[in-house]
Amino acid sequence: MTNPTGKVWQRIPARQEGPAPELSTEEIRAIDEERSHYENDAAAGLEALRIVQRARGWISDDSLRAISAYLGIAEAELEGLATYYQLLFRRPPGAEVLQLCRSSSCWILGCEQLQGWLEQELQVRPGETTADGIFTLLENPCLGACDRAPVMLLGEALHTNLTEEKLREVLAEKRRRHADQSAD
Amino acid sequence: MLTNPLTKNIGAEDVATDLQTYRDSDGYGGWLRALKMSPDELTQLVQKAGLRGRGGAGFNTGLKWSFVPTDRRAHPVRYLVCNADEMEPGTFKDRLLMERDPHLLLEGIAIAAHAIGAATAYIFIRGEYHLATQRLQRAIDEVTESGLIAGETTSLDQPLQIYLHCSSGNYICGEETALLNALEGKRAIPRAKPPYPQVSGLWGRPTVVNNVETLCNLPHLLLHGAEWYRKLGRGEDSGTKLFGASGKVNNPGLWELPMGTPFREVIEHHAGGLRDGLTLRGFLPGGGSTDFLGPQHLDLPMDYDTVRKAGSRLGTGTITVLDEATCPIGLVLNLSRFFARESCGWCTPCRDGLPWVVEILQRLENGEGTTNDIELLREHTARMGPGNTFCALAPGAAEPIQSALKLFEQDFIDHIQGGGCPFH
């Protein structure tokens, strides 16, 4: 279901009861490093969400509870952050997060047609993950590479001067890699 | 004399200048000179040089610093924040500076921190700028290890610490008070002003928020002086700036040019004019939240006040070119969708007005518009205008709409009378 701005509403899974799950040693080390940069621990909450997402791909209920217990920040506060910030995911994304730039410059140079092609090819709408679990399609407001429009971010890699042909190649390459991995 | 202080270390190869190379070409010389000055002298120098904020507002940087309380005992902790949350549609200038010459930014940060007496600086960078983040972190490690800015050096006699904060997204983080809330680990919602951040900012401490490009102007300003800096400009404003062009031009890109360079020079000469024999309909002078200008404005010099008098804003100075084959209403719809999505939801004209605007524009594109819609859009832009909201997001969103209604009124009428978008 989408609202008039095109944002996809997300269903948040029900909460689990029980003892707080734990953070990994690496996560704790990274969070402690970050909290030393700020005046108080509340500021580290947002950093902790990023750190945990980096390690686990998304922020589950368990992750929220673990951060809450470690930093002493209310779960509701963390939930408020996780649902507010666009780059924090409360549902698991696919193995490859594809952010297509929707900026004015990319629009002038045909990002809408590319998005149409992508949605057809992947059989998803923005905010959704492909049936094989490989790709999640997201719209990005502006990736700041307008001189090389149209552009997208695939994971951490910026792909520029996109065409349907280029998209086809990039997707095929990623699919090959995932097929090889599952064959191993 | 040096005429390209912002990009002199940036070559053809996509690499970041390392500390040694940077130092070999006067790097950190401006910082060493700043250290010999008192914070007051430094602030006055920057104010006199006429450096204006490159994030879009064009406020005098030295003047901004001067609002920080001078009583060190009453306000022992101060912060400098570098706004590297570049997300204005059509803007891609800070990315270049951070990816290619990170030490220029760090030196600028050190100078600004000295001016306001801050021992801690944060760089608030977009979560999507992975390469810039990586290169900046390496540069921070290099300079910290070198002891250049981490000795007895700041005006507080404490080592200067520079930390990177990677944003978790949202355009509103670029608004300086929303940015401070994000740094404090809260939802990025703007704060009511006053108090201004210079008096009560991060954790209630005096805080200055400066844009990446603004800070990058400081090292050479210090090295070569205010007189040199003023003379870099061709018109009213001082210094050089990164100007860019994107859209259907032959050679989209970014160029360091004197302030006061006419738009025509960027669009026709540097960007090589429009491609495929297209003609120019108009352009957004500096990002998605600036009013459209038309071909009649091409010879205007790109100075803050001149562009304002022409009815727009210089903004970020990265031009988005609108050609004759692209639907202006489609472009405004694209921008309005962006602003509607990015509204934080605090103020009614923004939260409720923007989705309405999107709906009206979509109606026009679908051929379901009525003449009343033009009046409705005008009403909305007035309600989203300055003074009705806590921050500049809605007034900024209104700018391309209100100017499109003026410059491209016939297109709106054609959409209504022709029963849809004639460009499809």
Measure the CA angle with vertex B242, ends B240 and B245; round to 5°: 135
- Residues in chain B with CB shorter than 8 Å from the CB of A107 are 330-331, 334
Chain segment B49-100, per-residue pLDDT in tens: 999 999 999 999 999 999 999 998 999 999 999 999 999 999 999 999 999 9
Cβ within 8 Å, pair A103-B288: yes
- Quickly name the fold that domain B328-417 has: de novo design (two linked rop proteins) (1.20.1440)
**Share above pLDDT 90 across residues of chain B, in percent, rounded to a whole number:** 95
Q: Does B92 touch chain A (CB under 8 A)?
A: yes
User: Is residue B186 within 8 angstroms of chain A, CB to CB?
Assistant: yes
pLDDT band at B1 (very low <50, low <70, confident <90, very high): confident
Residues of A in contact with B253 (CB under 8 A): 147
What pLDDT does B149 receive? 85
Give the model's pLDDT for residue A6.
53
Q: Are residues A61 and A136 in the same domain?
A: no
Burial of residue B145 (number of CB atoms within 10 Å: 0-12, 13-18, 19+): exposed
Domain containing A37 — which CATH number? 1.10.10.1590
Q: Would you list the domain boundaries of chain B? A: 19-231, 233-323, 328-417
Flag whether pLDDT at B155 surpasses 60: no
pLDDT value of residue B404: 98
A100 and A134 within one domain:
yes
Q: Is A5 on the interface with B (CB under 8 A)?
A: yes
Here the contacts of B15-20 (C-beta below 8 Å, separation 24 or greater) are B15/B100, B16/B99, B16/B100, B16/B101, B16/B102, B16/B135, B16/B138, B16/B139, B17/B100, B17/B101, B17/B102, B17/B103, B17/B104, B18/B103, B18/B139, B18/B142, B19/B103, B19/B139, B19/B142, B19/B143, B19/B146
Judgement on whether residues A36 and A54 belong to the same structural domain of the protein: yes
Q: Of the CATH numbers 3.90.70.10, 3.30.360.10, 3.20.20.70, 3.40.50.11540, which one belongs to the domain with range B19-231?
A: 3.40.50.11540
The answer to whether the Cβ–Cβ distance between A5 and B94 falls below 8 Å is no
Report how many domains make up chain A. 2
* Contacting B residues, span 251-270, partner chain A, CB-CB under 8 Å: 252-254
- Letter for the amino acid at A151? V
Q: Which domain holds residue A119?
A: 96-183
Q: How confident is the model over B280-316, as pLDDT tens digits?
A: 999 999 999 999 999 999 999 999 999 999 999 999 9
pLDDT tens digit sequence for B19-61: 999 999 999 999 999 999 999 999 999 999 999 999 999 999 9
Which residues, numbered 109 to 168 in chain B, qualify as contacts with chain A under a Cβ-Cβ cut-off of 8 Å?
122, 126-131, 161, 163, 165-168
Whether residue B206 is preceded by a cis peptide bond, meaning omega within 30 degrees of 0, is: no
Task: Return the CATH number of the domain spanning residue range B233-323.
Answer: 3.10.20.600
For residue A108, give the DSSP letter: H
Could you report the predicted ipTM of this complex, rounded to two decimals?
0.95
* B247/A148 touch (CB, cutoff 8 Å), yes or no: no
Scanning A140-169 for CB atoms below 8 A from B yields 140-149, 153, 156, 158
Q: What is the mean pLDDT of each run of 10 residues along chain A (184 residues)?
A: 51 59 95 95 95 96 96 96 96 97 98 98 97 97 97 97 98 94 80
Q: How far is B26 from chain A (nearest CA, A)?
A: 30
Contacts of A39 in chain B (CB under 8 A): 202-203
Of A5, A109, A153, the CB nearest to B128: A153
**Closest chain A residue by Cα to residue B343:** A5
For chain B, give the percent of residues with pLDDT over 70: 98
User: What is the per-residue pLDDT for A2?
Assistant: 46
Q: Is residue B18 within 8 Å of residue B142, measured between CB atoms?
A: yes
Query: Is some CB atom of chain B closer than 8 A to the CB atom of A181?
Result: no
Per-residue pLDDT averaged across B114-120, rounded?
94
- Per-residue pLDDT reduced to its tens digit, B409-419: 999 999 999 99
Which pLDDT does position A13 carry in this prediction? 54
Chain B, 274 to 303: residues with Cβ < 8 Å from chain A are 284, 288
Average pLDDT over residues B264-273: 98
Question: Does residue A159 share a domain with residue A84?
Answer: no
Final residue belonging to a domain, choices A69, A92, A115: A92
**SS3 assignment for A113-176:** HHHHHHHHHHCCCCCCECCCCCEEEEEECCCCCHHHCCCEEECCEEECCCCHHHHHHHHHHHHH
Q: What pLDDT score does A184 carry? A: 72
pLDDT tens-digit readout, B362-374: 999 999 999 999 9
Same domain, A66 and A134: no
pLDDT of residue A104: 97
Query: Do A78 and A54 share a structural domain?
Result: yes
pLDDT band for B159, please (50, 70, 90 cuts): confident
Report the Cα B181 to chain-centroid distance in Å.
19
Facing B184 at nearest CB: one of A43, A88, A158: A43
Q: Is some CB atom of chain A closer than 8 A to the CB atom of B184?
A: yes
- The predicted-structure confidence for B175-227, as pLDDT tens digits, reads as follows 999 999 999 999 999 999 999 999 999 999 999 999 999 999 999 999 999 99
Look at residues A89, A101, A83 and name the one whose alpha carbon lies nearest to residue A143.
A101
Give yes or no for residue B153 having a pLDDT over 60. no
Please give the Cα distance from A4 to B359 (Å, whole number).
7
- A168 with A133, same domain: the answer is yes
Report the pLDDT value the prediction gives residue A27, as an integer from 0 to 100. Answer: 97
A156: CATH: 3.40.30.10
Q: Do both A12 and A80 map to the same domain?
A: yes
Quick one: A41 exposed, middle or buried, by C-beta within 10 A (0-12, 13-18, 19+)?
middle
Instruction: Select from A45, A105, A140 the Cβ nearest to the Cβ of B185.
Output: A45
pLDDT of B152 above 60: no
Chain B 364-383, residues with CB within 8 Å of chain A CB atoms = none
Of the residues A61, A92, A123, the one at which a domain ends? A92
For residues B105-128, average pLDDT: 96
How close is the nearest chain A Cα to the Cα of B233, in Å? 25
